[in-house]
């Protein structure tokens, strides 16, 4: 644990690590205070593309945490950056919340439900058969299929909910096309996170609740890794993976000591 505490920078997942829905998890306030008191570099790096950084900042503010908007980076922002770098001025049919719609708009990517360059799928509370059918037809017509992240499920206040990969799977199955996922563990998002953190990977740690995104992303990017059991992963689940985190913690409240 002492090795973790000595790290200069921390990349921290949000869902299942900081909160479940609108409920702050135990020990989070103490952990954030510890980060600030020790002048740590930290960045909240979330695979959820539902909200903008400003909205995430306000969400935590309502829970009693005062954190600068610049400390948030989402898979929606990463997706917009990726599409803009691949095809500036492109268009997309989007299934998702305003977080991804705003991110794409800010990069000059226009909404197009007729002949888009891309079909982009993120988390969507109102996901329906009509949207799915339209997406399938557009992908069959040549649009490239993009997922904001590869999470199958996500934690909520009342239990597990389907996430991006589960929502995009029917489109993949119906079209025979595999989606390209931009969020964790894609190194594109992790490298951007490290750049925003302004800390070398050897002096940084990844803290998350998912083995298949957070922990593998940290390992492959050369970060120290800590799995917290406050989200979707149980201790016995770790044995199902060919890799393991360096530390397994009950929650982020364990870190300050």
Distance between CA atoms of residues 204 and 219, nearest Å: 11
**C-alpha span between 98 and 3 (Å, rounded):** 39
Please name the residue that has the structure tokens 């199902």.
Answer: 240
Question: Are 199 and 41 within 8 A, CB to CB?
Answer: yes
d(CA 218, CA 208): 9
* 3-state class (DSSP) for residue 74: strand
DSSP string computed for 32-67: HHHHHHTT-EEEEEES--SS-HHHHHHHHHHTT---
Write down the catalytic residue from 13, 117, 214, 224: 13
Would residue 13 show up in a list of annotated catalytic residues for this protein?
A: yes
CA distance 25 to 12: 14
Query: What phi and psi values does residue 93 have, to the nearest 5 degrees?
Result: -90, 125
- From the candidates 15, 209, 214, 224, give the one annotated as an active-site residue: 15
Element (H or E) spanning 197, and its range? helix 187-197
Longest Cα–Cα distance of the chain, Å, equals 56
Active site residues: 13, 15
């Amino acid at each position: 644990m002492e090795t973790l505490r000595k790290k200069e920078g921390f990349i921290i997942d949000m869902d299942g690590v900081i909160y479940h829905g609108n409920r702050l998890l135990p020990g989070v306030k103490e952990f954030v205070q510890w980060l600030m008191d020790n002048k740590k570099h930290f960045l909240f790096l979330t695979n959820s593309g539902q909200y903008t950084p400003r909205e995430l900042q306000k969400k935590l503010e309502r829970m009693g945490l005062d954190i600068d908007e610049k400390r948030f980076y989402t898979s929606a922002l990463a997706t917009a950056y990726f599409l803009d770098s691949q095809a500036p001025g492109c268009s997309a049919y989007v299934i998702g919340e305003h977080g991804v719609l705003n991110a794409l708009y800010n990069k000059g990517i226009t909404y197009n439900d007729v002949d888009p360059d891309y079909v982009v799928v993120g988390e969507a509370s109102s996901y329906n058969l009509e949207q799915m059918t339209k997406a399938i037809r557009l992908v069959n017509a040549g649009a490239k299929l993009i997922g904001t992240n590869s999470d199958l499920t996500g934690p909520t206040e009342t239990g597990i909910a389907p996430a991006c990969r589960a929502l995009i799977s029917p489109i993949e199955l119906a079209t025979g096309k595999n989606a390209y996922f931009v969020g964790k563990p894609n190194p594109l998002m992790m490298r951007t996170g490290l750049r925003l953190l302004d800390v070398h990977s050897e002096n940084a740690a990844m803290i998350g609740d998912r083995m298949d995104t957070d922990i593998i992303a940290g390992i492959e990017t050369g970060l120290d890794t800590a799995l917290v059991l406050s989200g979707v992963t149980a201790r016995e689940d770790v044995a199902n993976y060919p890799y393991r985190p360096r530390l397994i913690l009950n929650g982020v409240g364990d870190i300050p000591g």
